[in-house]
Amino acid sequence: MVIPVHDVNPVRRTPWVTYTLVAANVLVFLYTPGLAGSVAGDSSLSQLCHLQAFLDHYAAVPRELIHHQMPRLVPTGDVAVGAHGAGCVVAPPAYDKSPPVSVFTAMFLHGSWLHLLGNMLFLMIFGNNVEDRMGHVRFTLFYLVCGYAASYGFALFNADSTDPLIGASGAIAGVLGAYLVLYPRARVWVLVPFLVFLPLRLPAWLVLGFWFALQAVYSSGGGVSAAGTVAYAAHVVGFVVGMLLAWPLKPGTPPPPEPPGLLFGRQARPRQTW
């Protein structure tokens, strides 16, 4: 998988919504109970129970989204010792959970630093230009629609799953789909792992097209064991929805600057003009 680090596509205005989304995701992660120990690699049972209780409350769960079947017992965050040893205490929920609202809250939750930083990297690189083209308000609505579509799309394919669905990946996949439609020729600096990380400058259609192809393969179970723990189907749905929503804006989108050279930023041969 290539790692994007920068795109050669300047913006006309400050992407305040993109910056706000990044800041909100980082702050929520830092204040998520139970993650401090897991980040440091020293997770206690108490921390894990607090994290599980928090996710059951605020994460989106496919079974709840599709069937509106709420669990009778949920973790409370407490630890107790039973016949089989220490474990998390479960009890009837002391809160009323709204499945549609949980989709919104889940979009700001992440399970690890790697999960968070990977999502924020893609959002920072590609979100600013999509926001610049759509405007702040439309981009905010676009981001939320893609996130909801991705979550419900994944839930439709996994209607009986009780695993919590968290992360901004579905909404960010929509941003990537929109960028592919609006700026397919924009150049993107990427790092390609080949013995060492090799820096290349490639067109966006190649970088994002390759990313989408991987998500499609993984969502079908190819290349991963039991589809892993990543909701690849949500990425696919979010990406396609982002493309469709951005398509009407394509005719009026100014092309990105055309930098000389493709690889390593070297100067290309001079082009003749006629």
Among 55-69, 97-111, 146-160, 209-223, the least confident range: 209-223
Mean pLDDT of the chain: 87
Q: Is the pLDDT at 218 greater than 50, yes or no?
A: yes
Among 33-37, 88-92, 103-107, 208-212, the least confident range: 33-37
Write the pLDDT tens digit of every residue in 149-205: 999 999 999 999 989 999 999 999 999 999 999 999 999 999 988 778 889 999 999
Residues 6+ apart with CB under 8 A from 44: 37
Look at residue 232 in the predicted model and tell me its pLDDT.
Answer: 93
Write the pLDDT tens digit of every residue in 113-150: 999 999 999 999 999 999 999 999 999 999 999 999 99
Look at residue 27 in the predicted model and tell me its pLDDT.
Answer: 96
Q: Is the pLDDT at 57 greater than 60, yes or no?
A: yes
Contact 116, 21 (CB under 8 A): no
Q: How far apart are CA 212 and CA 172, in angstroms?
A: 12
Q: How far apart are CA 48 and CA 41, in angstroms?
A: 12
Q: Dump strand ranges (E) for 83-164.
A: 85-91
Q: How far apart are CA 52 and CA 109, in angstroms?
A: 12
